[in-house]
Amino acid sequence: MNSKIRNKELSWLSFNERLLQEASKKEVPLIERLKFLGIYSNNLDEFFRIKVAILRRLATIDNLVLNEGEQPAEILNQIEQTVVKQSKWFERIYSQLLKDLAEEDIFIINETQLTPEQGEYVTAFFKEEVRPRIMPVIVKKNQPLPSLNDDAIYLAVVMAKSKKEEYALIEVPADILPRFVILPSDDEKRHIILLEDVIRYELKDIFYMFSFKTIQSFIVKLTRDAELDLDDDVAESYVKILSKSLEKRGYSELVRFVHDKDIPENFLSLLLKKLNFDRSDVIISGSRIHNFKDFMGFPSVGKKHLYYKTITPLAHPDIRQGEPFLGSIAKKDILLHFPYQSFYHFIDLLREASIDPKVTEIKMTAYRMARNSNVIHALINAARNGKKVTVSLELRARFNEQENIQWGNMLTREGVKVILGVPGLKVHSKLCLITRKEEKELVHYACIGTGNFNEITAKIFSDQMLWTANPLITKEVSKVFDFFTKNYKIGRYHHLLVSPFTMRYKILQMIRKEVHAAKNRQKAAIFIKCNNLVDPEIIGRLYDAAKAGVDVRLNVRGMFALIPTSLEEKYSIYSIGIIDRYLEHSRIYCFYNGGTENIYISSADLMSRNLDRRVEVSVPIYDSELKKEILSFLDLQWNDNTSARILDNALNNTINNLRNYPLSTSQLSFYDFLQSNRSDG
């Protein structure tokens, strides 16, 4: 491996392993530990559908060597070894959680453990709800399999006769029915059976016309390449291109096959042959349960101590009930921290703008919206009230493409101008611009965030959003929207960092300035918080900064390609990654700048795609009190010694408990910090 940069995919697996750590921690509430297993499983599915799929494509190119000095096939082999190792740990954790649940009188049981009364309930549920929704496929050696869905689990059924076996596949309809069926109980004990085990209980009823001696079933699951082949030919509608690509996704190349380790070898071989897998592909054996992602939605059973204590989002102290939102923004910049403060402030702002007679126009970017988005409905209401509304809608938001097509159609029907992205660039910036006529002048109000305008994810993602009427910033936000309309109209930016135009250059420039200060024996510091740090050029300049004596601190949740400690050049970069009850999602870039800090919140991670192939926006924080607030937020995270992991060279994920501090969880501490500030105000 190149000593200067590590493989980003392997670093991502280390991040996902931190979720297993949380699932194994006794101090984490029991049901939340189950949900961490679900998040781990969901992440791993997406990893194979995207990252592994890309590596498999690259592996077909002869003699290709990646930035890390390894060939794709070598990395794929390391990925498989790591995933197999993690899968074994996953199963051990789950086995322990079952025991812990039993101590709380919660039992996840299978079809062999039902009492007669429970069996009657399961039979009735199967006949009324399940049987109409399952369509078995008979598997024959001389017939091809129909296309199997990659977001589903299947029961592979073996019916043994005296001299031969019959095979079948049943898709478990967990997309329609609940995966967890709570059985009736006469006492405080709770018994839960999985949907596939309901089907197993009634297998004989399904295949009654076959004369078998024994019948068994085993879970199998496959994962497909989720990458879309998009052509940036502007002559064809994006919607048509994307719709065709979505149709292909169901038939795309297979990248992983997981199965119950007890499935008979002859049936497994037949399935692999029909799916065009060979033994060199990613084939993972495991327990009888797969698609653990559904455990993110584990039913609400048991006592309060099994869950995180509910934290009520705080009202922002500068937003007062009965006072106009836009008037508050005109007085001073407002910085919102989600989920600690309420995202509904933003929805209320849009609602106010939609009926304010002086508001003339609203513009917004849309990437991932909530399923029944109040944000979208507020924009529609603004259009109905005669406001000019424009939405830059990114159709290529992975796994949200279909929903965004539907949102685009709805907005268009309601008179909203919809811009379907920018050819060749994915619009990932989080921008909203409200224009109001005040004393015969048009005044702009901007909202610029690190996360999506999504009221559902805002409850679990840690993000920031700046509200400002500063004309230096709002004028440049307006230029970004002009670019969406007229792609040749790039504009000049002196305050915002906008990729792919200025962000990379400006960040490198600020790093160089800190290096220059350090070499002149002046205080110099770079604090970075982001989700992914993998861009080779940025990493190289951070190494230069650390060597020069700059205080470089990194807080990276996910992919982390930097090597923190150099034995040869005698420098070490303090690096942590936090996994806790909320998903750390905000991007914050701080440069000491001689004591007048340059601080930005951003939609962009430090990845080549974000800096060079996406429209991203970083906004400077100019208000001195807001700067202090962000630095306090970062300080709490640097000193977290319960949820922060040290990101060392080996990515051992050691909890940051080396400092002589009382136990501190940064997320809860920051909530207390904001609550205290609200009380003081």
Q: Which of 543, 559, 653, 658 is nearest to 610 (CA)?
A: 559
Q: Which of 451, 480, 644 is nearest to 557 (CA)?
A: 644
Tell me how far apart the alpha carbons of residues 615 and 607 are, in angstroms, rounded to a whole number: 13
**Looking at domain 8-306, which of 3.30.1840.10, 3.40.50.150, 3.50.50.60, 3.90.25.10 is its CATH number?**
3.30.1840.10
Which pLDDT score is estimated for 14? 97
Amino acid occupying residue 674:
L
Region of poorest pLDDT, from 422-426, 643-647, 655-659: 655-659
Region of poorest pLDDT, from 6-10, 27-31, 230-234: 230-234
Domains of the chain: which residue ranges?
8-306, 325-491, 498-680
Region of poorest pLDDT, from 241-255, 413-427, 519-533, 625-639: 241-255
- The answer to pTM > 0.85 is yes
Q: Which of 370, 143, 162 is nearest to 274 (CA)?
A: 143
Q: Are 468 and 620 in contact (CB under 8 A)?
A: no
Mean of pLDDT values over 43-58: 88
399 has pLDDT over 80: no
Mean of pLDDT values over 488-493: 90
Which pLDDT score is estimated for 280? 64
Which pLDDT score is estimated for 28? 96
Mean of pLDDT values over 617-632: 98
Please confirm, yes or no, whether 337 is among the known catalytic residues.
no
| 522 Cβ contact list (under 8 Å, min separation 6) | 594
Set 428, 494, 495, 585: catalytic member: 428
Which pLDDT score is estimated for 325? 96
Q: Which of 220, 51, 239 is nearest to 149 (CA)?
A: 220
Tell me how far apart the alpha carbons of residues 438 and 442 are, in angstroms, rounded to a whole number: 6
286-290 LR contacts (CB < 8 Å, sep 24+): 286/87, 286/91, 286/258, 286/259, 286/260, 286/261, 287/91, 287/94, 287/260, 287/261, 288/110, 288/218, 288/219, 288/260, 288/262, 289/94, 289/194, 289/219, 290/153, 290/219, 290/220, 290/221, 290/258, 290/260
Mean pLDDT comparison of 51-60, 159-168, 437-446, highest-scoring range: 437-446
Which pLDDT score is estimated for 246? 47
Q: What is the pLDDT of residues 323-378, one digit of tens each?
A: 999 999 999 999 999 999 999 999 999 999 999 999 999 999 999 999 899 999 99
Banded pLDDT at 214 (limits 50, 70, 90)? very high
647 has pLDDT over 70: yes
Mean of pLDDT values over 220-224: 89
Which pLDDT score is estimated for 225? 78
Reduced 3-state DSSP string for 45-101 = HHHHHHHHHHHHHHCCCCCCCCCCCCCHHHHHHHHHHHHHHHHHHHHHHHHHHHHHH
Region of poorest pLDDT, from 349-353, 614-618, 673-677: 673-677
| 678 Cβ contact list (under 8 Å, min separation 6) | 314, 315, 316, 317
Banded pLDDT at 678 (limits 50, 70, 90)? low
Q: Does an H or E element contain 457, and which? A: none
Q: What is the pLDDT of residues 503-537, one digit of tens each?
A: 999 999 999 999 999 999 999 999 999 999 999 99
Which pLDDT score is estimated for 164? 86
Which pLDDT score is estimated for 296? 95
Banded pLDDT at 681 (limits 50, 70, 90)? very low
Q: Which of 309, 307, 446 is nearest to 364 (CA)?
A: 446
Q: Name residue, tokens 């992440």.
A: 43
- Report, at the CATH architecture level, how domain 325-491 is classified: 2-Layer Sandwich (3.30)
Q: What is the pLDDT of residues 90-147, one digit of tens each?
A: 999 999 999 999 999 999 999 999 999 999 999 999 999 999 999 999 999 888 888 8
| 659 Cβ contact list (under 8 Å, min separation 6) | 639, 641
Tell me how far apart the alpha carbons of residues 351 and 349 are, in angstroms, rounded to a whole number: 5
Which pLDDT score is estimated for 227? 60
Which pLDDT score is estimated for 192? 97
Give the rounded percent of residues in the chain with a pLDDT score beyond 70. 93
Instruction: Output the six-digit token pair for 436.
Output: 């109001």
Mean pLDDT comparison of 230-234, 250-254, 558-562, highest-scoring range: 558-562
Bigger pLDDT: 158 or 246?
158
Region of poorest pLDDT, from 85-94, 247-256, 328-337: 247-256
Tell me how far apart the alpha carbons of residues 16 and 156 are, in angstroms, rounded to a whole number: 29
Region of poorest pLDDT, from 287-301, 468-482, 600-614: 287-301
Banded pLDDT at 568 (limits 50, 70, 90)? confident
| 527 Cβ contact list (under 8 Å, min separation 6) | 553, 555, 588, 589, 590, 634
Q: Are 573 and 553 in contact (CB under 8 A)?
A: yes
Strand 614-620 versus strand 426-427 pairing type: parallel
Banded pLDDT at 236 (limits 50, 70, 90)? very low
Give the rounded percent of residues in the chain with a pLDDT score beyond 90. 75
- Asked if domains 325-491 and 498-680 share a fold, the reply is yes
- Report, at the CATH architecture level, how domain 498-680 is classified: 2-Layer Sandwich (3.30)
Instruction: Output the six-digit token pair for 282.
Output: 């990613």
Mean of pLDDT values over 449-463: 96
Which pLDDT score is estimated for 269? 92
